[in-house]
Structures are given as C-alpha cells and as structure tokens.
Structure 1
Amino acid sequence: MKIRKHGLAEAVCNAGGRAGGVHPYCELLCILEGEAELEWSGVAYPANGTALFVILPNTPHQLVQRSDTLRYWYAEFHAEEHDPLPAVDVVYQWNGQQGGIDWDGDPYKALRAAFQAVCMLMTAESSLPWDLFAEALASDLRKLLMLLTGAISTRTKPAPSYSSSETVVSETMRFLESMFPQPLTLRTIADNTHYNPSYLVRLFRKQTGKTPFGYLNELRLNAASEYLLHSRMSVQQISQACGFQSIHYFSRTFKQRFGAAPSEWRRDRRG
C-alpha cells in the first residue's frame, strides 16, 4: 500500500459545503462527528455522527456537509496485490449500510476502535518522521480493511430480494461505474453479464430509461466535470482519463450536456 494523500479536517459553519472529485486511487473516508452525505457514482449515502466509506478508484465523489460542524479524516492510497481491499459488491453493500450501523454493537466496536486509532495517528503526524508515519498509517488502513470485510461477512441482516432483471442491470451499472475510463464495447459489457447484447440493451433501457452507453456517457461526463473543476489537467488529458477516444466527440457531448465547451465551462466556474 502506498499512501497518496491524507488529512484530518474540521469544517465549522460550512453547512452545504462540498469536497471531493475523481482520482485513480482507493480512498477511506471516515466521518467522526456531524451530518453529511457522500454523493458517490450518482447515489447519495447519508452519514450521521459516525460513518466509514470506501471509495473505489476513478469514481466521482463529493462529500456534502449537512451540519454546521463536520469532523472527518480521509486517506487516498494505491492498493497493492496483497492489500485486503474488499470486493466491489462488498464495497457497495458496506457504503449503503452507513446510515444504520450501531457502532456500539458487535462486530463494529473493533472497527470503530481501529478508525479512531487512525484519527489519533493523524493528530500526531507532525511529531513523527514521514517514513514512520506512512508505514504506521498503511498498517492501520490494512487493519481497517480486514475488519470491514469481516464485519460484512458476519452481518446477519438478509439482503433485499431483487428480480433477476434488476440484478443484471445493477451489476451492469456497477461494472460501468468501475470501468468507465476503459475503452468499452457493447460486447465487452454484455460479456460481463453473460447476456446477449441486444437483450441487455432492452433490459437496461426498461429498468433505467437509457441504454448502457447512455449511462456510461453520463458517468464519463460527470467525471470530466470534476476534473475540469478540481485539476490542472488539459482538456485532452481529461478526455483520455474519462474514456473518450476522441477529444472532438468529448467536446461535442460535453457541450450538449452542460451548454458550453469544456474549456469555456472551466473558465466560467474557476474564474
């Protein structure tokens, strides 16, 4: 595990404030105090008092403050092969549970103690050599990931029942959300579900009102808008990072969606 960026933050008198973006790293986001929502891949996940979110690489996310005071820590990291990163379906399940966890009950007490230890370590960062701090932080994050996976596996609450078509569409959406920067074809998307491409398109449109590529295009444009707002990347670099094979197609579809070309849209909002 390689630590990319981390921080311990307290936002006061900032209800409605936002923080986040898109980056090619895993991230742990721990709410310590206050109310907030994590807007992640088009879904809002509420947090009240305590929450621990896992954010997958290349997925657009925004933390929206809902109370006057909000305390949280975050850590972005590059996960290596031996790191205990939960499976994608486990991450979605876990993030969806954050509004209703009893952190005083089993098996969550150990998990809470682990993320409080990360908070204490970040508080003491200035008194430690960087190499020692980074090694200790990586160790604590690995422990959190292992405990998180264990907490999910021991949870006894039954999963909601979905029809087979809903499951297929949900799996397809998750696949697109995690793979949107990659060059994808309808065959590639269909192969992931083991369904005929034309049948998958009909099923997806019936459930969502759009095609798989329509949804994929939304993901890419949303990610591009975050890059434009929060990075210094060129329009060409953003186009490539979001999976567009042509900067001309990117510029045209971005203007159709947001009403201005990417460079103009960035200039108007960043001043």
Structure 2
Amino acid sequence: MDIQLKLRTGRYSLQVVANRYVERRTGFINRRHSHPVYHLMYITDGEGTFEVGDSTTRALPGMLYWISPNEPHRFEASLTRPMSNFASTFVLRGEDGVPAEIPFPDLIEEYAGTQLPSAARRSPCIVPPQFRPAVENGFRQTVAPAEAPSRDIRDKLRVLDLIVRIADTVGRIGQGAPGRKNGTAVTELLRYIETNLHRALTLEELARHIHVTPNYLCRMFKRETGATPRQYVQKLRMEKAMERLVDTDEPVYGIAERLGFESASYFARVFRAKHGVTPSVFRELQKG
C-alpha cells in the first residue's frame, strides 16, 4: 500500500527517510549542506544556532523549523545549554519518481486553504504555547515503535499526520489565531538581535523595530521566550563569548567589541560575576 498526497501539481508518494528524537547535543552538528528531502525540526530544550537559507537564528524551545528540498542549512547546538529536538525527514516523489522541490510553506497553504502572511512563511515559526502539545505529540508519535510488517505504512501515516498538524497550526496562526502577532514579531526581533549583537541595543530601539511600546515589548517577549529582552541579549552575549573563548584565539578585547560590550573591563566584570572567573582564566581552564 502506498501513501500519496494529491496536490494541484500532481500526485506525490511519501517516502519516510528518518524520524528521531535527539537529546542534549552540544557544539558542532554539521556543515552547511543541502539535499532533496524535507526536514522538519522542533526544539524541546536547550539552545542552538540554525542557518536556513539566508537566515541565521537562535533556536529555542517551542521553535519549529522546516527545510525544503535543496535548501542550504547548518545546525550547531549550544556549548552550555545542550539542545534536544525532534526531527522528521521525508521525500515526496512525483509519478516519474523524481523528488519534488515544492517549498514546504506551499504545502501548508494548499492544505490550510489560505495564503499565509510572508512572515508566517519563513522558518522558524515560534509555536504559540496553546498549540505546542499538538505539534509535539505529532513529532512524538513519529518516533514511537511500530512492528513489522506494517511498520512502513505506520511510519508514513504518522509523518502525514505530522504534516497535517503543522499545516493546521501554521494555518491558524496565519489566519489570526491567538499568538500570531506576538510570535511572528518576536521571531523577527530575535533575528534583529542576532544581526545587531555587536552594538548597544536599547529597549526603546527593539520596541521601535516591531512598532510596540517598551512595556508591551517586555510582556510579549517574556511570554514568548521566558526572558526579558535585556536578559536574553545578555545571555546570548555570554554564550557567544564562551564559544569564542573556547573556539578561537581572538583577544578578549576583540570579543568584547564584537559582542557589543562597552569595554573589555566591563565585559570581564560581567563575565566574572556570571562564571566566577575572568574570560582569560576561563580560556586557560578550557585549554588545560
């Protein structure tokens, strides 16, 4: 028995490549690459840095990533906050057997029956809290054991159910379900912070960037990420500083400048308050 998706562009057979849950990964995961498969990832714990196409974002719990066929991507987990995630990889093959290259948002739009806003078409999507159980359960069932001889069919049905859950969730967000405005705004703000981490970032500037008041930004940001904007920026700077201290020979003052600290001495004070040692001592301990 085959499982097929009937789309406007034709009929496509579903081929499951892999479904898995990976726990507590740290550091380098893979090089930038592409392949003719769909790749869905949902972050459950920890943090990482994901490059998908031309976008680089900090992966946080509740974020859903989709990689369309032949879309370049690279993943790296945090050194200090090990990342756990679900991943589902599959191929859609046309009647000629050639893997389809339909962008994943197009699949979502066709199922949901509505055009998504441009912001909702971008990966990643911050899944609003009320929708996370449905998405996580969809991923969880893909990794549940299934016995032969029905395992292949069960795997396909589970992945198809996952696609439907994601399409339903993103479609509801795109139609204005609770959390859409906040989720897409915070996603945009995370990208903006990543891009501008090298300089001072004020609360007022961040609020202006997404056209809200500073007070509203603090409430919205904490509801979506669990941290205030200031806490998130400081934590992100500390993590990137630790990574550069371990992975490079860049001078401490250069790291401080790169990450937007007002001076090397201020960076050293903040680092010592957080980790109990100066950046230079931390680097020596890691090498020793």
TM-score by length of 2: 0.48
Match of 1:62 among 77, 84, 87: 77
- d(CA) in 2 for partners of 1:239 and 1:208? 25
CA contact (8 A) 2:93 2:99 kept: yes
Residues 163-204 of structure 1 show CA distances to partners (whole Å, capped at 9, x for unaligned) of 133443343233223332233222221111100122212332
SS at structure 2 position matched to 1:233? coil
Unaligned runs of 5+ in 2: 1-22, 50-57, 80-84, 109-166
Residue 209 of structure 1 deviates from its aligned partner by 4.0
CA contact (8 A) 1:51 1:98 kept: no
Letter paired with 1:227: R
Residue 19 of structure 1 deviates from its aligned partner by 4.5
Equivalent residues in 2 for 1:153-164 (5 A)? Answer: 153-156=105-108, 157-158=167-168, 159=170, 161=173, 162-163=178-179, 164=181
Alignment coverage as a number of residue pairs: 173
Closer/same/farther in 2, CA of residues 169 and 260 from structure 1, 3 Å limit = same
Match of 1:28 among 20, 25, 32: 32
CA contact (8 A) 1:181 1:220 kept: no
Mean Cα deviation higher: 225-234 or 155-164? 155-164
TM-score by length of 1: 0.51
Residue 205 of structure 1 deviates from its aligned partner by 3.2
Unaligned runs of 5+ in 1: 1-14, 22-26, 65-96, 112-149
Partner in structure 1 of residue 260 of structure 2 = 243
Residue 103 of structure 1 deviates from its aligned partner by 2.1
Match of 1:151 among 103, 112, 137: 103
Partner in structure 1 of residue 157 of structure 2 = none
Match of 1:216 among 233, 247, 250: 233
CA contact (8 A) 2:25 2:77 kept: no
CA contact (8 A) 1:51 1:99 kept: no
Residue 236 of structure 1 deviates from its aligned partner by 0.5
Structure index of larger Rg: 2
Letter paired with 2:99: K
Equivalent residues in 2 for 1:160-239 (5 A)? Answer: 161=173, 162-163=178-179, 164-239=181-256
Q: Which one has a larger percent helix, Structure 1 or Structure 2?
A: 1
Letter paired with 1:20: F
Residue 151 of structure 1 deviates from its aligned partner by 1.7
Identical pairs, percent: 23
CA contact (8 A) 2:26 2:76 kept: no
Superposed CA RMSD: 4.2
- d(CA) in 2 for partners of 1:179 and 1:256? 24
- d(CA) in 2 for partners of 1:218 and 1:266? 18
